[in-house]
Amino acid sequence: MIKFLVPVDGSEFADRAVQHLIKLAQCQQPAEIHLLNVRSPVDAWEVKRFLRAEEIAKAQQSEGESDMQSARDLLDRAQMPYTPHIMVGPVAQTIAQLAKDLNCDAIVMGTHGRGELANLVMGSIAAKVIHLVKIPVTLVK
């Protein structure tokens, strides 16, 4: 069984990556799919002054679930099982570390995004992920 990691952020490009993965997985042997949304750590003292760590974590979880919803809907309609992950940390490093921890065979991701993944162009997060991992990375435009 091939394992895919798909970082998503709710953008049109992330949805295209999921659609591409669905086509790939339908042509391949059974696939294990892991969706990932990475949230940046909240370091602003202005936020920490008014919100407890638990409140910040709850907000990040909620935002991650919202950003992941369109990808989940696509996979649900295709009747493809997946495991969702919402993590906090530096985006490229978190993607690479989860791929390693899960022993993924490939990463499929959009070339552009929004929010923290807004700079998914060669030379930024996508390039960092490519340099950090030893598995194939498919970028979907």
What are the pLDDT digits (tens) for 25-81? 777 677 899 999 999 888 776 666 777 788 888 989 999 999 999 999 999 999 999
**Could you give the maximum distance between any two Cα atoms of the chain, in Å?**
51
**CB neighbour class for 74 (10 Å; exposed up to 12, middle 13-18, buried from 19):** buried
77-113 pLDDT tens trace: 999 999 999 999 999 999 999 999 999 999 999 876 5
User: Model pTM?
Assistant: 0.83
Q: Which residues pair with 3 in a beta bridge?
A: 32
Q: Are strands 83-88 and 31-39 parallel, antiparallel or unpaired?
A: parallel
C-alpha distances (whole Å) from 61 to each of 25, 69, 100 are 28, 12, 22
**In the chain, what are the domains?**
2-140 (3.40.50.620)
Q: How would residue 123 be classed by pLDDT, with cut points 50, 70 and 90?
A: very low
How is residue 48 written in tokens?
């920490």
DSSP string of 12-38? Answer: HHHHHHHHHHHHHHHHSS-EEEEEEEE
Tell me if 125 sits within 8 A of 9, measured CB to CB. no
CA distance 113 to 120: 6
